[in-house]
Amino acid sequence: MRKIALILVSLILLTVGCDDDKRNEPINPAFIGYISGFTSGIISNQSTIKISLAEPSAHAQYDKAIDDDLFDFSPNINGEAYWLDETTIEFRPASPLPSNTYFKAEFYLSEIVKVEKDLKTFYFDFETYKQGINLQFAGVKAYDNNSLKWQQITYELTTADFANAEALEQTISATQNGKKLTISWNHGIGERLHSFSIDSINRIEKRGEVVLKWNGGAIESEEKGEQNIEIPPLGEFKVIDLKVVQQPEQTVVIYFSDPISTTQNLNGLVYLQSGENLRLSIDENTLSAYPTRRLTGTSKIIIDKSITNSIDYPLIEGFEKSISFTNLKPNVELIGEGVILPSTNGLIFPFKAVNLSAVDVKIIKIFENNVAQFFQVNQFSGNREMKRVGRIVHQSEIKLNATKAIDYGSWNTFSIDLSSLINAEQGAIYRVELSFRKKHSLYPCENAADELEEIDLEDEREALSYDQPNDYYYYDDDYYDYYDDYSWEERDNPCSKSYYSRNNRKVAKNVFASDLGIIAKGGNGKTLTVAVTDIKTTQPLANVSIEIYNFQHQLMKKATTNSDGLVD
């Protein structure tokens, strides 16, 4: 027989497994007196590993290899350590680090500074980016603007991390009608940005197709796939793609199947529905539209079908599309209002994120024997006096990896299987909090540079506060949750640390891991009807034991649901 204790509503939670063996023990706060920063999080395969000391060292010798073995890594990294200045030590790997690899590191602080026995070795960890490939269409052009028979299609290729040029060229191939096409490369664009062109594409009177394939094995990437590129028949002039570029100059880039006529006046033929002025520029098959001032929000771009190609053929049809002129700020949102997570496919916690590479997850467990106390001052979604009724049972960083290429600059849906993080217990409630830090941001900022991560003991301090009665004075979880250098004026600037104060960057939901749906309805202050159903099937559940308590947590009545899942 199932048993339910009603204190307003309390639910049975399922038991699931947990495992998290990657996190080191919390940093000893005493290290703050000796170490002010260190390499952490996700780094490039070209990165060095740095330690920043809190005080200048008498041992420092600028840019000279250090004889002593100050570092130890698992897995091993060959290389040497150097002094960058009197407070910074840099370990320089002898070769690029392997991609998608987690490293545990030890820094022998006692070789530099005289310290207590338990501070001789500083433990930290980091990992390298998972290598990936992202392809972006960059236009098509004809070899001869009069015949249009032979064409070339160009793509931009961005890797998640540095990749050797020769190895990268092995990842791409293209065919037309089974014939392998020649691919030419340009690697001089940037460290992670490359371009390639598929040459000698034959365009005929019938619609054709080019098959583009990629396989990242040569650059330690697991990504592979293919794309069928439509080749319009000769005589079919059309818009084939469009994108909005935000940096460095706001631009709407429109790709056409044919070269655009350079003798035609395009005024009034390409415009924004909002009426904003555009400056137009033609480059063969590509039309770039530049707003005369920086725009925000959304608008619709309209392209008139009277635009002609280089041999005076008009567009087969006009073109309209809604576009956005704003880089979305890093953010995270919850999905839905539900507080019950059925066990159909694990304990799946969905959410949305934009311009973020990872989120921090914290889970607070409200113990079953404290649920009554929790509901005396809270509704289902409340978080008052959490330290009196709950405890942090999990904290970790969750990377927002996708199984296929996605646009991280747009809102995407992700999910966390809570069953991999917690052991849910019967009768308990779990508060799941998602937040993010500046290092998780993918928002483009000018002059952004790699920074050492400051030692942030906020999570450790918060966990310790659950054991310190004096810290219970402020019962509300969100009270005064700001960085020390928080600037109110910069609170909405994603390129400022102030944007990432916890009050700005946190969402939370209380959840019950249960397959039971319960409705309790009172009448005239003296009667109560309870209905229990199976959430997965919506069928009523019989023989469920119900216990009803008053505000003082005294048992008032016990009952069992009938065949209709009801009890009065």
* Same domain? 399 vs 532: no
How many domains is the chain partitioned into structurally? 4
CATH of the domain at 75: 2.60.40.3710
Q: Which of 67-76, 407-416, 475-484 has the highest mean pLDDT?
A: 67-76
Instruction: Let me know if residue 14 belongs to a domain.
Output: no
Give 118-130 pLDDT, tens digit per residue: 899 999 988 888 8
Tell me, what's the pLDDT at 480? 36
Which among 285, 335, 332 is positioned nearest to 436, based on CA atoms?
A: 332
> Are the C-beta atoms of residues 45 and 161 closer than 8 Å to each other?
yes
Tell me, what's the pLDDT at 23? 45
Give 267-315 pLDDT, tens digit per residue: 899 999 999 999 999 999 999 999 998 887 889 999 999 999 999 999 9
* Same domain? 463 vs 369: yes
**Token duo for residue 498:** 């102030």
Instruction: Let me know if residue 223 belongs to a domain.
Output: yes
* Same domain? 138 vs 262: yes
Q: Would you place residue 451 in the very low, low, confident or very high pLDDT band (cuts 50, 70, 90)? A: low
Give 162-197 pLDDT, tens digit per residue: 999 999 999 999 999 999 999 999 997 777 899 999
Three-state SS at 231: strand
| Range(s) of the domain holding residue 258 | 133-245+248-324
* Same domain? 48 vs 155: no
Tell me, what's the pLDDT at 326? 76
Q: Which residues pair with 184 in a beta bridge?
A: 197
Tell me, what's the pLDDT at 18? 32
Q: Would you place residue 512 in the very low, low, confident or very high pLDDT band (cuts 50, 70, 90)? A: confident
Instruction: Let me know if residue 29 belongs to a domain.
Output: no
Tell me, what's the pLDDT at 155? 95
**Token duo for residue 53:** 């000391």
> Are the C-beta atoms of residues 535 and 497 closer than 8 Å to each other?
no
Per-residue pLDDT at 104 exceeds 90: yes
Tell me, what's the pLDDT at 453? 55
Give the helix, strand, coil percentages of the chain, each rounded to 5: 10, 40, 45
* Same domain? 70 vs 168: no
Per-residue pLDDT at 482 exceeds 60: no
544-549, strands of its sheet edge to edge: 2-6, 544-549, 555-560
Dihedral sign, Cα of residue 293, residue 296, residue 299, residue 303: positive
Per-residue pLDDT at 8 exceeds 50: no
Tell me, what's the pLDDT at 479? 35
Tell me, what's the pLDDT at 7? 39
If one compares 190 and 101, the residue with the highest pLDDT of the two is 101
- Please tell me the distance from the alpha carbon of residue 132 to that of residue 216, in angstroms, as a whole number: 7
* Same domain? 309 vs 373: no
Q: Would you place residue 325 in the very low, low, confident or very high pLDDT band (cuts 50, 70, 90)? A: confident
If one compares 13 and 134, the residue with the highest pLDDT of the two is 134
* Same domain? 119 vs 203: no
- Give the domain-ending residue among 292, 324, 356: 324
Instruction: Let me know if residue 1 belongs to a domain.
Output: no
- Give the domain-ending residue among 75, 106, 128: 128
Instruction: Let me know if residue 150 belongs to a domain.
Output: yes
On average, the pLDDT of the chain sits at: 83
Per-residue pLDDT at 360 exceeds 70: yes
Q: Which residues pair with 531 in a beta bridge?
A: 519, 566
* Same domain? 506 vs 528: no
* Same domain? 200 vs 103: no
> Are the C-beta atoms of residues 476 and 377 closer than 8 Å to each other?
no
Tell me, what's the pLDDT at 395? 92
* Same domain? 203 vs 306: yes
Tell me, what's the pLDDT at 335? 87
* Same domain? 488 vs 543: no
Q: Would you place residue 94 in the very low, low, confident or very high pLDDT band (cuts 50, 70, 90)? A: very high
Q: Would you place residue 12 in the very low, low, confident or very high pLDDT band (cuts 50, 70, 90)? A: very low
278-283, strands of its sheet edge to edge: 239-245, 251-256, 286-291, 278-283
Per-residue pLDDT at 344 exceeds 80: no
- Give the domain-ending residue among 93, 128, 163: 128
Tell me, what's the pLDDT at 476? 41
Per-residue pLDDT at 432 exceeds 70: yes
Which residue is it, tokens 């009724």? 389
Instruction: Let me know if residue 201 belongs to a domain.
Output: yes
Instruction: Let me know if residue 27 belongs to a domain.
Output: no
* Same domain? 502 vs 354: yes
Instruction: Let me know if residue 194 belongs to a domain.
Output: yes
The residue-averaged pLDDT of 501-517 equals 77
Give 203-216 pLDDT, tens digit per residue: 999 999 999 999 99
